[in-house]
Structure 1
Amino acid sequence: MYDYLIVGGGSAGCVLAARLSEDPQARVALIEAGDADRSALIHCPAGIALMARTGQANWAFATAPQPGLGGRSGYQPRGKVLGGSSSINAMIYIRGQHEDYDGWAAAGNPGWSWAEVLPYFLKAEHNERGASAWHGGGGPLNVMDLPEPNPWSQRFIEAARQAGFDENPDFNGASQEGVGYYQVTHRGGERFSAAKAYLAPALARPNLEVITGAQALKLVLEGRRAVGVEVLQGGTRRVLQARREVVLAAGALQSPQLLLLSGIGPGAELQALGLPVLHELPGVGRHLHDHPDVVLLVDAPQARDTVGVSVGGAWRVLGGVQQWRAQRSGMLTTNFAEAGAFLRTRNDEARPDIQLHFVIGKLVDHGRSTVLGHGWSAHVCVLRPKSRGSVALASPDPLAPPRIDPGFLSDPDDLRRLMAGVRLTHRILAQPALAGGGQPTAAGLDEAALERWVRAKADTIYHPVGSCRMGPGADDVVDAELRVKGIAGLRIADASIMPSIVSGNTNAPTIMIGEKAADMIRRANA
């Protein structure tokens, strides 16, 4: 028996476990299907390259075939380890645009405007640049500039300036627009995940129990109240009970899955799978969306200081391994996507509608395929896509993956913006600062050929949100206090509650959601 059960030891779950256990009178359990974050590949920033190939600490889901992608199934990596996706991501710290959160509040979610969420970003953050109006100086999450960026990242920034775009030294400051370096969640040459930032300092508390290797199977309900969670651990099923609240923090793909497995969701879907309908809630699993993304490649054999597969490149990596082991410095402190940009595809756009990530190597198939030689890549993604999809049950078996349908490029506006973003990025990659490389992929294609290429290559940039949407409407799942509608003692605190996706990487906003949810829960149970 616990006061609070938190399902999912990821970015928001680690925040909740740490914050709720600050009350010594509250007994807290954090349930995580994966293991502890012991692997050196997690802690070494450049280890993401090998994790992508091995599938380590990763649910590695696939989508349903996507008509907008020519019938292909896409890739959906999600962290299966303490720290969740903050233990396998590219460590980029981005909050999004101020208008994103004002839009949440305007949609009927009081308390979620930019002015109201900024204090939670500041509370979470310790920025090594120092505290300011825009940055926290004493929070658990360490944010810093990359200490040893690759020289080609600076060349990309210069190329964007040559193409007419302004440099922005702080994407999380007064304005997001421009080109520059990303700040990262690192400390001392290592990844600084939510598990390191929040959970590790709290592990000695006697009132906090972290249960790893335990997959949640369903919620336990007494009437219309959540009172526990049934888990499978080591081949044994058991029930953990909650006196006060159960909080789902399993992410945009698995929080709705767990609701559905528990008989909470669209009744017709549940009945079709032979599951009882304990609470009709039609919005569960609806409104899933994500940033659609394509990657442009440039072959540059002379760029030997990029990360590439060659004899010289292998020697550099071996030297980098030794340096990182001894000093936590050197080339393996890279997050690969060191620089980027937030740009407008048209001058009449009110704010940036695309994001670029410049990668210091040739990236193919999410890093799962080996590409010989040296060069660089550029991600192009649409910041506020209109396409919507869903998460549903593929099977009543709780161990089966969910059916994930992001609906990529189902809205023609997303395709238009993505194609315009590719054209714009081609212009940057053609500037003198990046001279010496070959033609980027898809260069010189006419509109029809470019559309075919985008549909053949687009996929996720790992930001699924919205599948348990917050709002006042009948199709919304949680209210502005993150309480699941119609079920007492149950909240959701993860990216699934986002009414609309933020304009940028989703890890920092998810941590903010965890901070804000912890305050809500403590106030309600005071």
Structure 2
Amino acid sequence: MQSVDYIVVGGGSTGCVVASRLSETASCSVALLEAGPRDRNPYIHIPGAYYKTAQGPLLKRYAWEPRPEQQRPDGETMVQARVLGGGSSVNAMIYIRGNPADYDGWADAGAAGWAYEDVLPYFRRSENNNRFADAAHGTDGPLNVSDIDTIHPLTRAWLQACQQHGLPQNIDFNSGDQAGAGLYQITARGRRRSSAAVAYLHPALGRSNLQLHTGVQVARILIEDGRAIGVEYIQKGQRRILKARREVIISAGAIATPHLLMHSGIGPGEVLARYGIDVVRDLPGVGQNLQDHIEISLVYQLNGPHSYDQYKKPIWKAMAGLEYLAFGKGPATSNLIEGGAFWWGDKCEALPDCQFFLACGAGIEEGVDGVPGGNGCTINLGQVRPHSRGEVTLKSGDLADDPIIRPNYFGDPRDLEAVTDATLLAMDIMKRPTIARYIETRVVPDHPEPTRDAVRQFCQREAHAALHPCGTARMGRDAEAVVDPTLKVHGIDGLRVADASVMPNIISGNLNAVCMMIGEKAADLIRTT
């Protein structure tokens, strides 16, 4: 029977980092198990092909249960990447760390050692920034973080409109001060996406002590006498066992991680017993504390070819492709979501609580339609620190059955009010002169001058998942915590969780950079604790 020192379950943003860093110690053997395929799809590596990866076959779709007032005829889905590199291989590449106060809040919630001053060195260690080199940014890490070389004129017009509304310009959302509008930096360099697989794993695969297995479904964690000793997995229809001499690290993401833990007998005892699963460790917090950013999309039809939608036409697409191949420049090097802002929905919040994105096109992201005229743009916005909490729980005792996901979006009424305010702000920005001259009409919502009540109802009805789930195996020392601050699962030796599920509270912005930071810190913790 095969064995290694460390088994890492999940080759996403965190798992790639953990496996790569652990394999730097030549005397340690590491196996990385990923359910999806290798990251060979060419669309993954072209920044401008984000519109393909955001809606394509590299995503695992989960149904989630909305609140009654959010029911839609076509149902609701939450997607998670299923490919090597995870979300970092398919996302919009936006590099955001959140606010320093987010991490100080983690420490206050029982995650000692995860305050901002503790995690900043790991952000810097990971980063190779092409513009900033200061106390907040690193230039020697494996992860390429860059300005976007090609900025669409519509993005610049929208950022000017934000300033006309009164938002200050912000040149660095990761400086510790998020307030204002500005250009995003992305995890790419030139013509190529810098995913966790590209940045961390690919350079490490030449090491003889690192194994990679893709197309692998881990069925359960093997536990003997209170210790994780390996995993049982399915590959090409065959059940196999891999033993871990030191530790098993679960990095499967905020949906799959609690699902796997529960099917391995670790979770709420009452739920496990209901489905005939032997209780190895009664941990009521597994699957609880689910958090996600809820998002609204405002779609506008433009009065001419003023967005990237024009590149959907064969001749323009061919020209962009030639420019990309010949010079590594042009629209294909853009992530299509170049500019954004952080501002207040709830004026009582000490820090900006809403994030805005301008997508220079319509129908780029899953669930957002195009426009009748063919040329459009989309304003996406969401609350970055929601108060609502949901859960991931079992549907049955069969691992093949997806879990039940109840995000409970807008379960706390403060969230709906903040998103309503942010939506009204976004609509007002689109009336400012520098952007209004490009607008033909607003398609979604289609009411010309909606009242606040109408906007609230629109938000409640049309809000969708921002696809940033986290918190379902949170850090802490209390009875509801799943892992301690060293990421060890309470009551089980040799088992850790390292992914977005360990976050006590969601951070103020996109999660990908944070997941890689968790991977960097996790590798140090595994080696030293």
Q: TM-score band (shorter)? A: over 0.9
Q: Where does residue 183 of structure 1 map in the other structure?
A: 185
- The match for 2:253 among 236, 251, 254 is 251
Q: Where does residue 118 of structure 1 map in the other structure?
A: 120
SS in 1 for 2:177: coil
Cα distance, 1:393 vs structure 2:
1.6
Task: Confirm or deny: 8 A CA contact 1:52 1:367 kept in the other structure.
Answer: no
Does 2:195 align with 1:193?
Answer: yes
SS in 2 for 1:65: coil
Does 2:399 align with 1:398?
Answer: yes
CA deviations on 1:463-519 (whole Å, 9 max, x unpaired) are 101000111110110111111000000000000000000000000011000000000
Cα distance, 1:86 vs structure 2:
0.5
Task: Confirm or deny: 8 A CA contact 1:283 1:468 kept in the other structure.
Answer: yes
Task: Confirm or deny: 8 A CA contact 2:289 2:391 kept in the other structure.
Answer: yes
CA pair 257-36 structure 1, distance change in 2 beyond 3 A: same
- The match for 1:222 among 221, 224, 228 is 224
**Rounded Cα–Cα distance in structure 1 between residues aligned with 2:473 and 2:131:** 36
**Rounded Cα–Cα distance in structure 2 between residues aligned with 1:358 and 1:220:** 46
Q: Where does residue 149 of structure 2 map in the other structure?
A: 147
Cα distance, 1:447 vs structure 2:
2.8
**Rounded Cα–Cα distance in structure 1 between residues aligned with 2:165 and 2:363:** 23
> Unaligned stretches of 5+ in structure 2?
none
Q: Where does residue 33 of structure 1 map in the other structure?
A: 35
Scaled by the length of structure 2, the TM-score of the pair is 0.96
Q: Where does residue 523 of structure 1 map in the other structure?
A: 528
Task: Confirm or deny: 8 A CA contact 1:69 1:409 kept in the other structure.
Answer: no
Q: Where does residue 323 of structure 2 map in the other structure?
A: 323
Q: Where does residue 490 of structure 1 map in the other structure?
A: 495
SS in 2 for 1:290: coil
Task: Confirm or deny: 8 A CA contact 1:20 1:26 kept in the other structure.
Answer: yes
CA deviations on 1:287-321 (whole Å, 9 max, x unpaired) are 1010011001111131x14122688x442222112
Q: How many residues align?
A: 521
Cα distance, 1:71 vs structure 2:
5.7
Does 2:509 align with 1:504?
Answer: yes
Query: Which shifted more, 395-404 or 276-285?
Result: 395-404
**Rounded Cα–Cα distance in structure 2 between residues aligned with 1:413 and 1:491:** 34
CA deviations on 1:261-310 (whole Å, 9 max, x unpaired) are 101111111111121111111100001010011001111131x1412268
SS in 1 for 2:381: strand
SS in 2 for 1:77: strand
- The match for 1:86 among 74, 88, 99 is 88
CA pair 222-149 structure 1, distance change in 2 beyond 3 A: same
Query: Which AA in structure 2 matches 1:444?
Result: E
Task: Confirm or deny: 8 A CA contact 1:483 1:492 kept in the other structure.
Answer: yes
**Rounded Cα–Cα distance in structure 2 between residues aligned with 1:174 and 1:4:** 35
**Rounded Cα–Cα distance in structure 2 between residues aligned with 1:439 and 1:359:** 16
CA deviations on 1:71-122 (whole Å, 9 max, x unpaired) are 6743212111110011010000000001000001111211011111100000
Query: Which shifted more, 363-372 or 276-285?
Result: 363-372
- The match for 2:473 among 468, 476, 479 is 468
Task: Confirm or deny: 8 A CA contact 1:68 1:409 kept in the other structure.
Answer: no
SS in 2 for 1:394: coil
Task: Confirm or deny: 8 A CA contact 2:9 2:33 kept in the other structure.
Answer: yes
Q: Where does residue 459 of structure 2 map in the other structure?
A: 454
SS in 2 for 1:308: helix
Cα distance, 1:60 vs structure 2:
2.0
SS in 2 for 1:218: strand
Task: Confirm or deny: 8 A CA contact 1:306 1:374 kept in the other structure.
Answer: yes
CA pair 284-71 structure 1, distance change in 2 beyond 3 A: farther
SS in 2 for 1:284: coil
CA deviations on 1:320-346 (whole Å, 9 max, x unpaired) are 122223333211112111100000125
**Rounded Cα–Cα distance in structure 2 between residues aligned with 1:134 and 1:190:** 24
**Rounded Cα–Cα distance in structure 1 between residues aligned with 2:425 and 2:162:** 10
Cα distance, 1:365 vs structure 2:
6.4
Q: Where does residue 237 of structure 1 map in the other structure?
A: 239
CA pair 368-57 structure 1, distance change in 2 beyond 3 A: farther
CA pair 365-19 structure 1, distance change in 2 beyond 3 A: closer
Query: Which AA in structure 1 matches 2:396?
Result: S
**Rounded Cα–Cα distance in structure 2 between residues aligned with 1:444 and 1:363:** 23
Task: Confirm or deny: 8 A CA contact 1:465 1:497 kept in the other structure.
Answer: yes
Cα distance, 1:130 vs structure 2:
4.2
Cα distance, 1:348 vs structure 2:
4.2
SS in 2 for 1:243: strand
Task: Confirm or deny: 8 A CA contact 2:149 2:190 kept in the other structure.
Answer: no
Query: Which AA in structure 2 matches 1:185?
Result: T
SS in 1 for 2:176: coil
**Rounded Cα–Cα distance in structure 1 between residues aligned with 2:67 and 2:198:** 36
Task: Confirm or deny: 8 A CA contact 1:20 1:28 kept in the other structure.
Answer: yes
Q: Where does residue 307 of structure 1 map in the other structure?
A: 308
Task: Confirm or deny: 8 A CA contact 2:144 2:187 kept in the other structure.
Answer: yes
Percent identity between matched residues is 43
Q: Where does residue 102 of structure 2 map in the other structure?
A: 100
CA pair 455-270 structure 1, distance change in 2 beyond 3 A: same
SS in 1 for 2:420: helix
**Aligned counterparts, 1:30-69, within 5 A:** 30-53=32-55, 55-69=56-70
> Unaligned stretches of 5+ in structure 1?
none
Cα distance, 1:426 vs structure 2:
1.0
Query: Which AA in structure 2 matches 1:445?
Result: P
**Rounded Cα–Cα distance in structure 1 between residues aligned with 2:63 and 2:364:** 17
CA-atom RMSD in angstroms: 1.6
Task: Confirm or deny: 8 A CA contact 1:68 1:407 kept in the other structure.
Answer: no
SS in 1 for 2:255: helix
Cα distance, 1:400 vs structure 2:
2.4
Cα distance, 1:49 vs structure 2:
1.2
CA pair 159-370 structure 1, distance change in 2 beyond 3 A: closer
Task: Confirm or deny: 8 A CA contact 2:346 2:417 kept in the other structure.
Answer: no
Query: Which AA in structure 2 matches 1:332?
Result: A
